[in-house]
Every structure is written in C-alpha cells, then in structure tokens.
C-alpha cells in the first residue's frame, strides 16, 4: 500500500492556548512495497507523523491518501485502515497483557472477528516469523526476556497481516545482537511478503543498513527524502540537526578530505571494506 501526505499539518491541543505545532505541511509519497527509514532528532515529529498513517491522529490540515484514497473522505473505514496499517509502538512490550504469549498474539486476529482456528493459525505464523521459540508460547509474556517480549509484541501486529508495517524505534533499549536479529527478521519479512515497511529510528546505522530510502525530519518538517547514500552526503547539515552519519561514512568522508581518493557515498562496512581494498590494491586493511 502506498501512503501519501499532502500539506499535512498537525497541532497538539489546538485552541487550548498551549498549542504545539508538531507537523508543518508535510508532503510525502511512500510507494507500495518500499522499506523506508524515518529518522530525525527527538521531538522532530516522527511518532506524530506515523500515528496519522493508521488514523490514530487526525490531521489538523491537509490530506492523507492510502492507495490513492483520502482516509478523511466520508464513509472511509478507519477500522479497515487499522487492520491494514500495523503500528508497533515504541516499547510495545509494555502493552502485553494476556495470560500467555499465544493468547496475546491472538488478540488482534480475534478483534478482526476471525474464527478461533484462524486466530491460532495467524498467531502461530506470526510467532514463527519473529523467531519466537515454541517453548514460550504457553508462558506468560512476563517470564520472557526483554528482547523476546518485544518479538511477541511485534508478532501481535503481524498476526493482523498488515500491508504496511510501521515500527517506532523497534530496537530501543536492546543490545546490539538483539537489535540486528530483530531488524534482520523485519528485512526478511519485507523481502518475502513485499509489504511496505516504515522503520522509525534515530540510529543512522540501522537506517543505512536496511532502508531503500530515508526520510529525515526536523522540527516537524521533512528535510530530506532520498536514498541513504544521497542523504549522508549532507553530513554537516545532519550534524547541525543533531544526527550523525554512520561512522563508516564519516570515516570515508574524512579520508577523502585528507586527500585519499575514496568514494564518499559508502554507507556500510562491507562497502567501505571493498573500496579500501580497491584503493590500497589488495594490501591488507
């Protein structure tokens, strides 16, 4: 499913005297099937923006189109929208509440009105997708580790079979291993199912590694929307916005500034390694 914002603005507490304009005239097209990274400093408006995508927040002005249809049109089904656009909140494990892991993941499909059999089928499939070990299915979510609990929470959204999956800082608070396991699983899911994935992350390393394109927000506006390699060329501007390009990109840019003829648009360690081997002619680096 494609998502398009047209001059979308949002003001918290409008008319209260404590107004905060969180989004300023956002124009954006996220095509169907893309894996996009949404980044920006804390308070830049990322979480506010994505809550518009499944109708949790309603724009103060402007329009939002899902697959070309305005979600604000008369008669548009928000219920249907929420079943198609799955949103995994930040620290989603705080919202687990059922007695067992399996029951928790079945909650979404149950709300969709599916039969008990289908609920279970969906839940088992989703738990398998996120790599949750079978021996935990009958446990209480609270017996699991933080990383496992987060997987269960993600499975709960996947069990709805969304066509768009939005994850708000899914790796926050996880150790590096847990982080990459979860991101690898999301990347695999994207590849296998072709759903649109919107990964909200303030970590440029994560975005560089996984996203086809990235959106950079600052103070409620979209500043860049391009491939990571293109966006990271604006190192200084990004730093002014409190964002650091990936360390490896920064290293290559510093080498280039020091007169070593290496490419400056490399964003992954493996890409940089290849480039260094090329430049230094196979001498070990």
Q: Where on the chain is the footprint of ligand ADP (CB under 6 A)?
A: 12-13, 20, 22, 40, 42-48
- Backbone torsions φ then ψ of 218, nearest 5 degrees: -150, 130
The one of ligand ADP, Mg ion, none whose footprint includes residue 45, by CB under 5 to 8 A per kind, is ligand ADP
For the CB of residue 75, give the shortest distance to ligand ADP in the complex, in Å. Answer: 29
The one of ligand ADP, Mg ion, none whose footprint includes residue 12, by CB under 5 to 8 A per kind, is ligand ADP
- Backbone torsions φ then ψ of 269, nearest 5 degrees: -60, -40
DSSP state of 35: E
For the CB of residue 51, give the shortest distance to Mg ion in the complex, in Å. Answer: 10
The one of Mg ion, ligand ADP, none whose footprint includes residue 20, by CB under 5 to 8 A per kind, is ligand ADP
Nearer to ligand ADP, 132 or 217 (CB): 217
Nearer to Mg ion, 122 or 179 (CB): 179
Residues 6+ apart with CB under 8 A from 52: 5, 8, 10, 23, 58, 59, 64
DSSP state of 27: E
Q: How far apart are CA 145 and CA 148, in angstroms?
A: 5
For the CB of residue 256, give the shortest distance to ligand ADP in the complex, in Å. Answer: 31
DSSP state of 190: H
**Residue showing the smallest CB distance to Mg ion in the complex:** 47
Nearer to Mg ion, 53 or 253 (CB): 53
Nearer to ligand ADP, 40 or 162 (CB): 40
The one of ligand ADP, Mg ion, none whose footprint includes residue 76, by CB under 5 to 8 A per kind, is none
Cβ-in-10-Å burial (0-12, 13-18, 19+) of 145 comes to exposed
For the CB of residue 13, give the shortest distance to ligand ADP in the complex, in Å. Answer: 6
- Backbone torsions φ then ψ of 223, nearest 5 degrees: -100, -40
Alpha-carbon 156 to chain mean position: 16
The one of Mg ion, ligand ADP, none whose footprint includes residue 44, by CB under 5 to 8 A per kind, is ligand ADP
Nearer to Mg ion, 41 or 263 (CB): 41
Alpha-carbon distance values, 176 to 119, 156, 232, 247 (Å): 33, 23, 22, 15
For the CB of residue 264, give the shortest distance to ligand ADP in the complex, in Å. Answer: 28
The one of ligand ADP, Mg ion, none whose footprint includes residue 86, by CB under 5 to 8 A per kind, is none
**Site of interaction with Mg ion (CB under 5 A):** 46-47
Token reading at 72: 């604000």
Count of residues making up the chain? 285
Nearer to Mg ion, 47 or 201 (CB): 47
| Cβ neighbour number for residue 55 with a 10 Å cutoff | 20
């Amino acid at each position: 499913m494609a998502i398009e914002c047209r001059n979308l603005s949002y003001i918290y507490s409008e008319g209260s005297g404590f107004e905060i304009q969180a989004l300023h005239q956002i124009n954006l097209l996220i095509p169907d099937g893309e894996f996009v990274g949404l980044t920006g400093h804390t308070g830049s408006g990322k979480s506010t923006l994505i809550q518009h995508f499944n109708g949790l927040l309603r724009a103060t002005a402007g329009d939002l189109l899902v697959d070309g249809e305005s979600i604000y049109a008369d008669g548009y089904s928000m219920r249907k929208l929420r079943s198609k656009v799955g949103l995994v909140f930040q620290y989603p494990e705080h919202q687990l509440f059922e007695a067992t892991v399996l029951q928790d993941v079945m909650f979404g499909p149950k709300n969709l009105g599916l039969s008990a059999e289908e609920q279970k089928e969906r839940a088992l499939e989703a738990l398998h997708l996120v790599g949750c070990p079978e021996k935990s299915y009958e446990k209480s979510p609270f017996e699991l580790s933080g990383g496992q609990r987060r997987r269960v929470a993600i499975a709960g959204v996947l069990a709805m079979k969304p066509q768009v999956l939005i994850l708000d800082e899914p790796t926050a608070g996880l150790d590096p291993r847990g982080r990459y396991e979860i991101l690898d699983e999301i990347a695999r899911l994207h590849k296998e199912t072709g759903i649109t994935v919107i990964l909200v992350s303030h970590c440029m390393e994560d975005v560089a590694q996984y996203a086809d394109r990235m959106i950079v927000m600052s103070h409620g506006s979209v500043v860049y929307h391009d491939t990571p390699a293109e966006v990271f060329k604006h190192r200084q501007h990004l730093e002014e916005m409190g964002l650091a390009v990936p360390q490896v990109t920064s290293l290559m840019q510093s080498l280039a500034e020091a007169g070593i003829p290496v490419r400056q648009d490399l964003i992954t360690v493996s890409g940089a390694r290849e480039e260094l081997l090329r430049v230094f002619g196979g001498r070990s680096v």
